Amino acid sequence: KASRIYATYESSISISYAYISLIKYTILLTLVGHWMACMWIMTGRFQPRKSYTWLDSLAETYYCDQSDDNPCPLVARDALTPSNMYAAAIYWSITTITSVGYGDISPRNGDEMLICTFYIMLGSCIWAYIIGNVCGIMSTLDVEGIEHNQTMDALNVFVHDRGFDQTLCRR
């Protein structure tokens, strides 16, 4: 159903195909980032209590005063609000997909490391797909420039094949 709605709007709105494609890739990045964020939250939430997770580390960041020299007590991951968790998870997923990966939110146990490795591989494939297609779109936006370059290439081949004098060719 979504593809029919999309096809209806795509044909009725007079927006360049390139811009529609850029919007599609932005939506793809947003959706994959959201799904990865939700799965990353579930990864931290469903670990056994005794297992230290990325959510425990995040809770310490939110609820411990970093200026004190006192060690931070273990803060329960349940103290985090859903918006805190989602904001951190979407930040993590987008930085993972785009291969920025600052490292401030990172896996804290073996299970998270395995899942994170899968997300890194998935994200790199998606990012390569998006970048490749966006570069392809950008390279075709200047129609007049492309046409000029093709004409010049054809002219260069013509003068070379016909054996024109080099001084004449440079003009």
State which amino acid sits at residue 138: M
Q: Which two tokens stand for residue 93?
A: 């997923």
Residues 81 and 35 reside in one and the same domain:
yes
How many domains does the chain contain in total? 2
User: 168: which residues sit within 8 A by CB, 6+ positions away?
Assistant: 159
Q: Which two tokens stand for residue 69?
A: 């020299």
Interatomic CA distance for residues 22 and 19, integer angstroms? 5
Q: How many CB atoms sit inside 10 A of residue 161's CB? A: 8
Residues 79 and 36 reside in one and the same domain:
yes
* Structural domain of 169: 143-171
Residues 56 and 125 reside in one and the same domain:
yes
User: What pLDDT is recorded for position 128?
Assistant: 96
Stated pTM of the model: 0.76
Kindly report which listed range (69-78, 93-102, 147-156) carries the lowest average pLDDT score: 69-78
Residues 104 and 36 reside in one and the same domain:
yes
Q: What is the pLDDT of residues 53-91, one digit of tens each?
A: 999 888 888 777 666 666 666 666 778 899 999 999 999
